[in-house]
Structure 1
């Protein structure tokens, strides 16, 4: 299977490692890519695990997120730029036949020695 975060990589050699063990993630960009792949795969358990404990969603919000991620067709991820703890990206998806885009400047940090998503602008 091709990795959702990068069509030049196989999932097993890319985001699958992070999804199996978040400790393997070595940068904010890598975590962001693995989170995008988790959205594509509707892996809300990984989204929860990779989210900072102070900004995590509620169980109800994760259920709604899972339903939404399954209702859209993910097209591609485009990394615009990144620093040590931020990633600016665009995530493209089809919803109700329309091409939509999420553009976000995300902030990441370490919690319990693991990279996690903190928030976005």
Structure 2
């Protein structure tokens, strides 16, 4: 885990503690789909599989998750969002997550489950 005072890996101008750290440790929940997307990216960066599974919708969540130790994430760019505000129950976030040697781009669907934002699946 990064130091609480380190810059947050999600790219926002905040410390890890003030940004994604509170979501990872459960003291806060994501207010928007984009905030959840950013915190999930950061969870990939820091290897927090428990958070990734916890924020994955129960209908599409895998039983377990193993992250490749060889991938070094280097940055996140939010390309487009639809809905996903505190007043919505669904939304999408299109992003590009860069890693050493490449990038992953996806338009992700998010929905609320038990009042909390969760990752549902890629939009096809």
Same topology, TM > 0.5: yes
Q: Any idea what SS the aligned residue of 2:13 has?
A: strand
Report the Cα offset of residue 21 of structure 1: 1.7
Aligned to 2:47: 42
Match of 1:5, SS?
Answer: coil
Aligned residues: 111
CA RMSD of aligned residues (A): 1.3
- The CA deviation at 1:71 is 1.6
Aligned counterpart in structure 1 of residue 103 of structure 2, from 101, 104, 117: 101
Describe the SS at the equivalent of 2:73: strand
**Residues in 2 aligned to 1:16 and 1:83: alpha-carbon distance in whole angstroms:** 25
- What is residue 118 of structure 1 aligned with on the other side? 120
Moved over 4 A (4+): none
TM-score, normalized by length of structure 2? 0.84
Is the 1:23–1:114 contact (alpha carbons within 8 Å) kept by the matching residues of 2? no
- 1:77 aligns with 76
Using the size of structure 1 for normalisation, the TM-score is 0.86
Q: 1:40 & 1:52 partners in 2: Cα distance?
A: 20
Structure with greater proportional strand content:
1
Structure 1: 5+ residue stretches without partners:
none
More helix, by proportion: 1
Q: How does 1:63-74 map to 2 (within 5 A)?
A: 63=66, 66=67, 68=68, 70-74=69-73
Counterpart pick for 2:63 among 58, 63, 67: 58
In structure 2, runs of 5+ residues without a counterpart are 1-5, 84-90
